[in-house]
């Protein structure tokens, strides 16, 4: 008997599968074809079908193939590109007192870096190094610093010296500034402009929905004498609500609740409109402030960083300040948010949770809105007879030239009602081994016969509210220190936060003081913690320690314990499919 010819079955191409799947939706043919066995689909075909929207991988009934259910792999999600932007920060260097005895910088009351770093840690990631500004971490917390003892000044100044935990023989000098408290009810009337980004990039839950919750926190506290203007911007700007009294709560909430996201981000024109509306409703002797809520992703109109910053710096001369509230992740422009607030004589906060919104605009509303001193500068002169070297911890992007201190035309930071500001110096007393060795050619510092009992002299220059001329306040720092364990609770806690921040930045100057030591120091210095902020900080230290590539004692972990990068996707290889041999009827030649 003559052998029958055979036909080899081959998997269909993607185009053929999609075409046949579409045909399967039509009425079946009346002529019944020979049923063919079902052929399993390869993983490659499954993935391709999913990417192109195929609902099932089955041979169509139109050609006589049995259809079967196919279990598709998990939904494929392409990686999201991270375009967050941070300004570069380089750690302050070590200075030799004999050559550079004077250190000058602007104060900083921003706290955005702390909340932003917290967001990274809570998401299981260490923050970018440039996202960590140590002074903002320290200044995030309230402290029990001395209030102003002299009614001529709006804040009090105190100092404390303790042994450094990071370097043998070094000491820590803490300079503390505490502004007088004021209740919001006692503040002058407020002219507030809410400038809200409602572009398409603000759709996620941690952006516009959280912005609305933030603004509701503020509306709940407004008084009849306050005025609120609401402006939104996306592809264009819109005046949603003209100046409205603070006691018209329902009107304000309806306007806030109606906000929806969509469109591009034309921020510069909207900021111009916000300043015009703020000037139109200006309250002489009152609080005049714009609150900008955005992810900072300006992509239409003027988007150049220097141009935007220059525009805000010019507008601050009108007496209207700018507070920035940052939201979201992935495309967050933190560099722009922090610097706009700096140029606008305001403050910068990052809102990652509703709890943070409550802290900024309810618990610390007076500090956020009311300024008690502007253009505040610190200048510390170290005594070469008692101090040989020093370094300032943090404030890297707030440094000023020595001559800027007495120049009232040079802008500096503002202090709000109830604000606490901390500056930490690590110093090397004269005669002890420092970070730098002795110079071969530079002469040693000449002994000073006067003021030999002082480590340094702290000068603070500021402008009182409504004044254009600055006022000087000076405080000497006497020689002497005590062990860190015997220092005040606030000193120990600020040191723990400074250690945490420096370790997140690589631990260049923390020596063998590791995460375990930082955690123990923080736990022992929680003190009075009415809002649970210090307890939360302890948890963040634990999280950072678990994510860090350094062991709790500061040493490097063994290779098998170090965080490993996420595995790369493994290319899918097709599974060989046996080709069934099908009998075919004889064909005439």
Task: Show the CA angle centred on residue 179, arms to residues 178 and 181, nearest 5°.
Answer: 120
Same domain for 314 and 276: yes
Task: Please report which confidence band the pLDDT of residue 290 belongs to, taking 50, 70 and 90 as the band edges.
Answer: very high
Answer whether residue 280 is part of any domain: yes
Same domain for 570 and 477: no
CATH of the domain at 363: 3.40.50.410
The yes-or-no verdict on residue 11 having pLDDT over 70 is: no
In DSSP notation, 204-267 reads: STTSHHHHHHHHHHHHTT--TT-EEEEEEESSSEEEEEEEEETT-HHHHHHHHHT----S---H
> Rounded to an integer, what is the distance from CA 189 to the centroid of its chain?
31
The mean pLDDT of 549-562, rounded to a whole number, is 49
Same domain for 457 and 515: yes
Same domain for 169 and 99: yes
Residues 6+ apart with CB under 8 A from 420: 139, 141, 142, 143, 145, 176, 177, 178, 179
Of 351, 369, 387, which residue is a domain's last?
369
Same domain for 424 and 325: no
Counting residues of the chain whose pLDDT is more than 70, the rounded percentage is 77
Answer whether residue 38 is part of any domain: yes
pLDDT computed for residue 159 by the predictor: 98
Answer whether residue 169 is part of any domain: yes
Answer whether residue 84 is part of any domain: no
pLDDT computed for residue 565 by the predictor: 44
pLDDT computed for residue 77 by the predictor: 57
The yes-or-no verdict on residue 555 having pLDDT over 70 is: no
Model confidence pTM above 0.95: no
Give the model confidence (pLDDT) of 384-395 as tens digits. 999 999 999 999
Task: Please report which confidence band the pLDDT of residue 31 belongs to, taking 50, 70 and 90 as the band edges.
Answer: very low
The yes-or-no verdict on residue 351 having pLDDT over 60 is: yes
Answer whether residue 29 is part of any domain: yes
Averaged pLDDT of the chain: 84
Containing domain of residue 37, as a range?
1-78+558-589
Give the model confidence (pLDDT) of 437-461 as tens digits. 888 887 766 666 577 899 999 999 9
Q: How far apart are CA 165 and CA 538, in angstroms?
A: 18
Answer whether residue 579 is part of any domain: yes
* Contact indicator for 329, 79 with CB cutoff of 8 Å: no
Task: Please report which confidence band the pLDDT of residue 298 belongs to, taking 50, 70 and 90 as the band edges.
Answer: confident
pLDDT computed for residue 426 by the predictor: 98
- Greatest mean pLDDT among 71-75, 210-214, 560-564 lies in 210-214
* Contact indicator for 170, 428 with CB cutoff of 8 Å: yes
Same domain for 324 and 206: yes
Same domain for 547 and 567: no
Same domain for 549 and 465: yes
Same domain for 244 and 335: yes
pLDDT computed for residue 63 by the predictor: 44
Lowest mean pLDDT across 306-310, 361-365, 411-415: 306-310
Same domain for 456 and 508: yes
Answer whether residue 89 is part of any domain: no
62-89 burial by CB neighbour count: b if 16+ within 10 A, else e? beebeeeeeeeeeeeeeeeeeebbbeeb
Answer whether residue 204 is part of any domain: yes
pLDDT computed for residue 209 by the predictor: 96
Lowest mean pLDDT across 156-160, 268-272, 384-388, 452-456: 268-272
* Contact indicator for 283, 319 with CB cutoff of 8 Å: no
Counting residues of the chain whose pLDDT is more than 90, the rounded percentage is 66
pLDDT computed for residue 234 by the predictor: 87
Task: Please report which confidence band the pLDDT of residue 23 belongs to, taking 50, 70 and 90 as the band edges.
Answer: low
Task: Please report which confidence band the pLDDT of residue 561 belongs to, taking 50, 70 and 90 as the band edges.
Answer: very low
Q: Report the number of distinct structural domains present in the chain.
A: 3
pLDDT computed for residue 201 by the predictor: 87
Same domain for 344 and 249: yes
């Amino acid at each position: 008997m003559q052998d029958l010819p055979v036909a080899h079955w081959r998997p269909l191409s993607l185009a053929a599968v999609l075409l046949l799947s579409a045909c399967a939706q039509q009425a079946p043919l009346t002529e019944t074809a020979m049923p063919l066995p079902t052929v399993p689909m390869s993983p490659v075909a499954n993935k391709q079908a999913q990417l192109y929207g195929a609902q099932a991988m089955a041979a169509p009934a139109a050609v006589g193939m049995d259809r079967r259910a196919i279990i598709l792999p998990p939904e494929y999600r392409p990686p999201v590109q991270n375009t967050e932007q941070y300004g570069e920060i380089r750690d302050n260097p070590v200075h030799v007192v004999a050559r550079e005895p004077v250190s000058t910088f602007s104060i900083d009351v921003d706290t955005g870096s702390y909340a932003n770093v917290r967001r990274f840690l809570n998401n299981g990631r260490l923050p970018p190094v440039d996202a960590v500004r140590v002074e903002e971490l320290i200044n995030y917390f309230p402290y029990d610093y001395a209030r102003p003892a002299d009614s001529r000044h709006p804040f009090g100044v105190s100092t404390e010296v303790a042994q450094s935990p990071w370097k043998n023989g070094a000491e820590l000098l803490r300079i503390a500034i505490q502004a007088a408290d004021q209740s919001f009810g006692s503040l002058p009337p407020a002219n507030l402009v809410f400038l809200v980004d409602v572009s398409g990039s603000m759709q996620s839950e941690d952006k516009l929905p959280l912005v609305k919750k933030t603004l509701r926190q503020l509306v709940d506290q407004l008084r009849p004498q306050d005025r609120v203007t609401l402006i939104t911007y996306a592809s264009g700007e819109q005046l949603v609500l003209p100046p409205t009294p603070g006691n018209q709560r329902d009107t304000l909430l309806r306007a806030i609740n109606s906000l929806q996201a969509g469109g591009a981000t034309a921020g510069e024109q909207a900021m111009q409109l916000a300043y015009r509306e703020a000037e139109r409703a200006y309250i002489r002797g009152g609080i005049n402030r714009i609150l900008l809520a955005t992810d900072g992703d300006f992509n239409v109109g003027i988007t150049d960083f220097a141009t935007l910053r220059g525009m805000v710096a010019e507008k601050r001369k009108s007496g209207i300040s700018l507070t920035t509230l940052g939201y979201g992740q992935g495309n967050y422009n933190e560099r722009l948010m922090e610097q706009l607030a700096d140029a606008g004589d305001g403050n910068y906060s990052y809102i990652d949770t509703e709890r943070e919104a409550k802290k900024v605009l309810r618990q610390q509303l007076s500090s956020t809105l009311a300024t008690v001193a502007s253009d505040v500068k610190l200048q510390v002169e170290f005594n070469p007879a008692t101090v040989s070297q020093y370094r300032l911890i943090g404030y890297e992007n707030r440094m000023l030239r020595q001559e800027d201190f007495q120049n009232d035309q040079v802008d500096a930071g503002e202090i709000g009602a109830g604000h606490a500001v901390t500056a930490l110096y690590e110093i090397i007393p004269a005669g002890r081994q420092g970070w730098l060795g002795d110079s071969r050619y530079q002469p040693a510092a000449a002994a000073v016969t006067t003021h030999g009992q002082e480590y340094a002299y702290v000068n603070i220059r500021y402008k009182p509210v409504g004044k254009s001329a600055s006022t000087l306040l000076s405080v000497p720092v006497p020689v002497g220190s005590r062990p860190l364990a015997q220092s005040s609770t606030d000193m120990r806690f600020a040191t723990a936060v400074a250690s945490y921040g420096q370790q997140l930045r690589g631990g260049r100057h923390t020596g063998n003081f590791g995460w375990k030591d930082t955690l123990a120091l923080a736990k022992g210095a929680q003190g009075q913690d009415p809002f649970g902020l210090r307890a939360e900080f302890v948890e963040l230290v634990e999280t950072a320690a678990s994510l860090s590539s350094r062991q709790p004692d500061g040493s490097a972990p063994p290779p098998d314990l170090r965080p490993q990068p996420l595995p790369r996707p493994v290319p899918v290889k097709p599974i060989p499919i046996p080709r069934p041999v099908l009998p075919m009827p004889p064909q005439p030649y």
